[in-house]
Amino acid sequence: MYTLAIIDDEILSIKCVKNFLSKYDKHQFNIITARSGREALQKFSENVPDIMLVDIKMPGMDGFELIEHVQKYYNPLVKAVMISGYSDFEYCKKAFQVKAFDYVLKPVKASELYAALEKVIDELENENYQKINMDRIKIQGIIKELLFDNNQITERKIRYDKIKSYMSNPLYFCSVLRIPENSEDNKQVDRLVELNKCVDLILQKFSYKKYEALYIQISDIEFVLIGNVTEQFDVSIILKNIRQYFAGIGLKICIGASHVFSDLCQLNQRYVEATIAARHHLVDPSLIDKIVQYDKLTIELQNNSIISRTKYQVNISDLFDYVLLGDYKSTILLKDYINSIHFKRYEELEYILRILLTTIQQLFNEYGIYEQPLKELESIISCSNNLEEIIEWLVRQIEKILVKINLSKSSDSGKRIQKVIEYINIHFSEDLSLDYISSIANMSPTYFCEVFKKVTGKTYLDYLTEIRIEKAKSLLRVENAKITDVALKVGYEDSNYFSRVFKKYTGMSPARYRKGLL
């Protein structure tokens, strides 16, 4: 409801306008009346108007001065309609100069007043729509930064406060909308445009319940929907409406829904939950075009056994609890966890890897590791069906996070080890003796070895060797690469010694490893 102020020194004029407004059935207004500019300003200190119907000639402050004062100190976007018995050009010109929206002559006619109000309200609603869209775009950008960029804790708090200024309800939810990649009927549909229409329609439908939503495009087939609702609101109603909308345009969609939450600090975790639920159709195709609640998620495994979401997630939760503590026990838990599951189909293993890597990617973002393990997984899977090798690759992703976490706990010595690690990752093919590498950290060799193992969980030699072996594996995936050339490129002048080291770490010779890839 808009606030409308009638300012006129003639009481009969005020009564006449109020009478017309009482019969105006298109809009209702919160009406303020005043018989002078001074009286109006006193009332505006408590209730600022959106619309002003202002007489020009008044004692003290005239209508033009009042409009300028309100625009400067109260509401720069106020819409003023001048009401006057004066129709000469000079008055009209001055009304234009103070940006009066319209000019109505006395005696006021209902039809002219209504026509002026229609134009004013159209303009106000257009401005409101633009403001809402601008606010939405800003908040979308902030949420995207929170989900995918590396943010320090202080930066996150600032962003949370900005979101709360736009989303004022007590509860939030996060859903991921996913278009199945093999849907042939989806090619001709502009998904982003349709989602935009869908969200706008739903916002209109549920606006009376104080509901707000923002969406972000993650890829060509995935979108994140962040909603803000009251405690009484049933989120499933929104998701069902979205599904019905897309069904109406012939578009299949998988919707993953997370817990409802009240603390924005949980946003990243809820996004991971919603992503897992939305992608669950990769394991169970019957879930295509369904709403999957993360709490009810189940995975069918060999022998028709079912691991419930609770049991399934407890293991992953325990694993990442150890990761966040910087405890290298997490790498053992990871191996035990994957080896404990007997997969019915290879797709199930791939799906669980994607679940793990979704969380790993979140931690990479959190700790400033600028890599894309989900993309690298595609290459690993296409080159190898060896479960042990895949697990070892996963362990190395976890170790990258552990190193970052432990470095963040360390002070000066941690920064020195970070400098060494960065150097090793670039110069691994060179002669990196312990004396030389410890001098880079400005430490004695003995103290360097102690601090290095505390931070990385490995000895310096083991860390360097594993880096070299990993680089060697990547080179061996190139069909025509000679083993002697591979050895030289990763820091081994003697190819026989390289082969012995490679076999020690991988359980097979370089030649056999390559043969297994073909």
The verdict on 451 and 513 lying in the same domain is: yes
Residue 397 pLDDT class (50, 70, 90 cuts): confident
What pLDDT was estimated at residue 508? 85
Structure tokens at 108: 């006021």
Domain CATH for 195: 3.30.70.270
Query: Is the pLDDT at 287 greater than 50, yes or no?
Result: yes
Host H or E run for residue 52:
strand 51-55
**Distant-in-sequence, close-in-space partners of 261: CB < 8 Å, separation ≥ 6:** 171, 172, 173, 174, 267, 270
CA distance 273 to 34: 57
Domain boundary, last residue among 102, 128, 154? 128
Of 296, 328, 346, at which residue does a domain stop?
A: 296
Dihedral angle over CA of 114, 119, 125, 131, nearest 10: -150
Of the residues 103, 128, 153, the one at which a domain ends: 128
Q: Is the dihedral of CA 323, 329, 335, 338 positive or negative?
A: negative
Are residues 372 and 495 located together in one domain of the fold? yes
Neighbours of 80 (CB within 10 A): 27
* CB contact set of 414 (below 8 Å; sequence gap of 6+): 406, 407, 408, 451, 455
Is residue 346 included in any domain, yes or no?
A: no
276 and 389 belong to one structural domain: no
| Co-location of 106 and 178 in the same domain | no
- The reply to whether 196 and 277 lie within a common domain is yes
Residue 334 covered by a domain: no
Show the domain range for 7.
2-128
Q: Which residues contact 50 (CB under 8 A, 6 or more apart)?
A: 2, 3, 4, 75, 78, 79, 124
73/178 same-domain check:
no
Strand 222-229, strand 171-178: pairing: antiparallel
- pLDDT tier for residue 6 given thresholds of 50, 70 and 90: very high
Give the rounded distance of the alpha carbon of 48 from its chain centre. 36
217, part of any domain:
yes
Q: Is residue 17 part of a domain?
A: yes
172-180: average pLDDT: 85
- Examine the domain organization and report whether 416 and 480 are in the same domain: yes
d(CA 184, CA 163): 37
Same domain (yes/no): 178, 271: yes
Residues 186, 110: one domain?
Answer: no
User: What residues contact 238, with CB distance under 8 A and at least 6 apart?
Assistant: 202, 206, 211, 213, 227, 229
Tell me if 135 is assigned to some domain: no
pLDDT at 278 over 90: no
Indicate whether 111 and 178 sit together in one domain.
no
Residues 6+ apart with CB under 8 A from 190: none
How does residue 264 score in pLDDT terms, banded at 50, 70 and 90?
Answer: confident
Determine the pLDDT at residue 19. 92
Mean pLDDT in residue range 284-289: 74
Model confidence at 410: pLDDT above 60: no
Strand (E) or helix (H) holding 267 = helix 267-278
In a domain, 145, yes or no: no
Kindly state whether residue 53 falls inside one of the protein's structural domains: yes
User: Is 395 found in the same domain as 259?
Assistant: no
| Number of domains into which the chain is organized | 3
> Of 56-65, 131-140, 162-171, 210-219, which has the strongest mean pLDDT?
56-65
From edge to edge, which strands make up the β-sheet containing 291-293? 212-217, 222-229, 171-178, 254-257, 291-293
Q: Where residue 118 sits, what CATH number does that domain have?
A: 3.40.50.2300
Residues 285 and 387 in one domain: no
| Domain contains 139 | no
pLDDT-wise least confident of 36-40, 180-184, 265-269:
180-184
pLDDT number for residue 313: 44
Average predicted confidence (pLDDT) for the chain: 77
